[in-house]
Homo-oligomer: A and B are copies of this chain.
């Protein structure tokens, strides 16, 4: 049997005009700003008009720690959304936009897979509706205005050694990680060290994804700290007078993008902050609007539950005043086997013992999620090679944890394959059993917040940080930032900071190497280990084979 590729399935799909998709959730043609025939932005007037409606149920899809075997979190999110619609529920999907740059390094595809995809897939992996370009522009404007301010006399007395605002580009360009700028003489400014991150790591992205509306966005942009003076007092984007023009550049990017699934159900694809340096969820405005338009909203968070779900709960839900009614934890038999020590090349062979021993990672995520007061269902995202005995081993393990695991075959069968999962998830969401609470209160000191996450989520013994970092946290508390949540930047492959340590490790320490204040987004980033805010391209980038074929179709991107 041969399978169609994701892109073949996507291209064979029967797309409906986006106006028809909008009509399904009550958005009229005038409130849909079309981008081509299959994408549209939702007007702010429409969003304002539904603000007083009651909320639908919110379902978070998260996963175990990722392995090279692949888990299929987005695929499950889309498949569950289609499944809910197929059983007669009014459901929407909310996922993130893809970053352009990385697609030219490794083969891309951030729109699900198999028969559970969001379309148009190619455009989602290229320019889409231009949101990330707008973010790059707004970020670049502020960058230019900072150095321009220094050039024309530096009235704000910025210490050029303490400019913390880095530049961004939406491309994997390691040559720009660290540069010396303003060289070449008087007319080019004052030479200083600088560097570039990739656009998704921009605080502008995080601000846009957490803002309630354009007014809130402008306030957050103005609150961003761009530099410090010699006396270490902060200089804000507002002091540079960049916040108004940045908001103008972001006015369309702030509006959620409506697209459709392969089964012609509505999906918002909006925002895409890095899941390490930022909170890794789609935009608040998309999620809160979807909750007004559908009875069930299925969304996802970046990486595994220790990073993605934790931030979804402690940052996004806290800030947006929303709470999940059910959490779906995606696992695969293959990933259990890898956690159980099987090499990728050997995943094809049945190995029930490896599945059993690999379930420890799954078990800890279940327990962690329950710690937020939310009900958890495990979705076993079915792969064609999975044997019945292996699947049963996972089910038995999950039952032993007091939860339930349901096999879902949306990849192969679309909504037919996810009907059982959808039915159970809807029941749980409707039951009202969720008693969500964040893990820590606002008023807890910053370092204690880090300890709370490290101990309760990572099951570490301690957080290690030198006095310079503790002093910095104290200083921020004194400046009024102590009530912010923390955003942990850590490897996604392990509960520890060692990416090779799979399963459910204990007894480890979490070293905090650096802390950063994202005063506009509204969190303190704790950098634990190396984090990469500007990726590089591999030896043979996929860009080398990406091209248009004779039919004008994109080849090599997927």
How far is it, in angstroms, between the C-alpha of A184 and the C-alpha of B179 when the chains are bound? 8
| Interchain CB contact under 8 A, A184 and B177 | yes
Tell me if A's interface is mostly helix, strand, loop or mixed. mixed
| Interchain CB contact under 8 A, A214 and B548 | yes
Q: Is A144 an interface residue (CB 8 A)?
A: yes
Q: Is A134 an interface residue (CB 8 A)?
A: yes
Q: For A537, give its contact among B145, B175, B214 (CB under 8 Å).
A: B145
Q: For A174, give its contact among B147, B537, B545, B548 (CB under 8 Å).
A: B147
Q: For A188, give its contact among B101, B177, B543, B547 (CB under 8 Å).
A: B177
Which residues 303-330 of A sit at the B interface, judged by CB distance below 8 A? none
Residue of B with least CB distance to A537: B148
How far is it, in angstroms, between the C-alpha of A136 and the C-alpha of B169 when the chains are bound? 10
Q: Is A104 an interface residue (CB 8 A)?
A: yes
Q: Which candidate, A59-67, A241-249, A411-419, is the interface stretch facing chain B? A: A241-249
Q: Which candidate, A29-37, A343-351, A382-390, A490-498, is the interface stretch facing chain B? A: A29-37
| Interchain CB contact under 8 A, A33 and B44 | no
Which residues 352-383 of A sit at the B interface, judged by CB distance below 8 A? none
Q: Is A180 an interface residue (CB 8 A)?
A: yes
Residue of B with least CB distance to A36: B33
Q: Is A172 an interface residue (CB 8 A)?
A: yes
For A556, list chain B residues within 8 Å (CB).
Answer: 244-245
- Count residues of A near B (Cβ-Cβ below 8 Å): 73
| Interchain CB contact under 8 A, B143 and A100 | no
Report if A137-B171 is in contact (Cβ < 8 Å); known contacts: A37-B34, A247-B547, A546-B248.
yes
| Interchain CB contact under 8 A, A104 and B141 | yes
The contact string, 1 if C-beta is below 8 Å from chain B, for chain A 39-64, is 00000100000000000000000000
How far is it, in angstroms, between the C-alpha of A250 and the C-alpha of B265 when the chains are bound? 30
For A180, list chain B residues within 8 Å (CB).
Answer: 179-180, 183
Q: Is A176 an interface residue (CB 8 A)?
A: yes
For A245, list chain B residues within 8 Å (CB).
Answer: 104, 543-544, 546-547, 556
The contact string, 1 if C-beta is below 8 Å from chain B, for chain A 95-115, is 000001100100000000000
Within the complex, the shortest CB–CB distance from A186 to chain B, in Å, comes to 11
Q: Is A552 an interface residue (CB 8 A)?
A: yes
| Interchain CB contact under 8 A, A248 and B548 | yes
How far is it, in angstroms, between the C-alpha of A247 and the C-alpha of B100 when the chains are bound? 15
The contact string, 1 if C-beta is below 8 Å from chain B, for chain A 528-551, is 000000001101010111111000
| Interchain CB contact under 8 A, B188 and A181 | no
The contact string, 1 if C-beta is below 8 Å from chain B, for chain A 116-130, is 000000000011001
Within the complex, the shortest CB–CB distance from A138 to chain B, in Å, comes to 10
| Interchain CB contact under 8 A, B241 and A544 | yes
Report if A543-B174 is in contact (Cβ < 8 Å); known contacts: A137-B100, A214-B552.
no
Q: Is A3 an interface residue (CB 8 A)?
A: no
How far is it, in angstroms, between the C-alpha of A552 and the C-alpha of B34 when the chains are bound? 19
Which residues 141-179 of A sit at the B interface, judged by CB distance below 8 A? 141, 143-145, 147-148, 151-152, 167, 169-179
Q: Is A15 an interface residue (CB 8 A)?
A: no
How far is it, in angstroms, between the C-alpha of A245 and the C-alpha of B547 when the chains are bound? 5
How far is it, in angstroms, between the C-alpha of A546 and the C-alpha of B246 when the chains are bound? 9
Q: Is A554 an interface residue (CB 8 A)?
A: yes
Within the complex, the shortest CB–CB distance from A406 to chain B, in Å, comes to 39
For A35, list chain B residues within 8 Å (CB).
Answer: 34-36
The contact string, 1 if C-beta is below 8 Å from chain B, for chain A 494-509, is 0000000000000000
| Interchain CB contact under 8 A, B177 and A141 | no
Q: For A127, give its contact among B130, B141, B194 (CB under 8 Å).
A: B130
| Interchain CB contact under 8 A, B144 and A172 | yes
Within the complex, the shortest CB–CB distance from A32 to chain B, in Å, comes to 9
| Interchain CB contact under 8 A, B181 and A176 | yes
Within the complex, the shortest CB–CB distance from A314 to chain B, in Å, comes to 31
| Interchain CB contact under 8 A, B543 and A145 | yes
How far is it, in angstroms, between the C-alpha of A303 and the C-alpha of B141 when the chains are bound? 26
Q: Is A187 an interface residue (CB 8 A)?
A: yes
How far is it, in angstroms, between the C-alpha of A241 and the C-alpha of B149 when the chains are bound? 40
Q: For A543, give its contact among B130, B141, B151, B173 (CB under 8 Å).
A: B141
Q: For A552, give its contact among B36, B44, B133 (CB under 8 Å).
A: B44
Q: Is A438 an interface residue (CB 8 A)?
A: no
For A33, list chain B residues within 8 Å (CB).
Answer: 36-37
A-B residue pairs in contact (CB < 8 Å), sample of 20: A35-B35, A104-B245, A126-B249, A127-B130, A127-B137, A140-B170, A140-B171, A147-B174, A169-B169, A174-B188, A178-B184, A179-B180, A218-B547, A241-B543, A244-B543, A244-B546, A245-B556, A248-B557, A251-B548, A251-B552
Besides A144-B537, A247-B548, 10 other CB < 8 A contacts?
A34-B36, A101-B144, A127-B130, A127-B137, A151-B175, A178-B188, A179-B183, A180-B183, A218-B547, A248-B546
